[in-house]
């Protein structure tokens, strides 16, 4: 198995773990778990060099395409229907993610 495929496979495994945790804790969602899992893995686990190619490709291209396709699925009426309550929750969740990331990187 080459490194590009192995890195992509590892990222899909991480996404599966994040989705599982997101279903256990739906108030946070899987995207926050994916972010925190990625930060923790980079911080505490040494990724072999041969996996870096695939991980870097997923990190760059995969993120761009996922944001693009997410935009296609949302309409303005859906965004406005969510309202300020969801904005408050999103801001709180992002704040918690940044604070957690700060402490993971600093220590």
Residue 24 is predicted with a pLDDT of: 92
pLDDT 10s digits, 70-84? 666 666 666 667 676
pLDDT for the residue 74: 62
Q: What is the CA radius of gyration of the chain?
A: 16
User: What per-residue confidence (pLDDT) applies to 67?
Assistant: 66
- Render pLDDT for 6-62 as a digit per residue (tens, 0 to 9): 888 888 898 899 999 989 988 777 888 888 888 888 888 888 888 888 888 887 777
**Where does residue 10 rank: exposed (0-12), middle (13-18), buried (19+ CB within 10 A)?**
middle
CB 7 within 8 A of CB 52: yes
The residue with greater pLDDT, 34 or 90, is 34
- This prediction's pTM: 0.59
Distance (Å, whole) CA 86 – CA 62 = 25
pLDDT of residue 73: 64
């Amino acid at each position: 198995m080459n490194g590009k495929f192995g890195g992509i496979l590892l990222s899909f495994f991480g996404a599966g773990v994040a989705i599982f945790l997101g279903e256990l804790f739906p108030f946070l969602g899987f995207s926050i778990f994916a972010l925190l899992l990625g930060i923790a893995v980079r911080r505490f686990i040494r990724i072999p060099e041969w996996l870096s190619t695939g991980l870097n490709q997923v990190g760059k291209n995969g993120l761009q395409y996922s944001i693009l396709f997410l935009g296609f699925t949302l309409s303005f009426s859906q965004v406005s229907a969510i309202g300020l309550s969801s904005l408050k929750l999103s801001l709180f969740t992002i704040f918690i993610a940044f604070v957690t990331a700060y402490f993971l990187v600093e220590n």
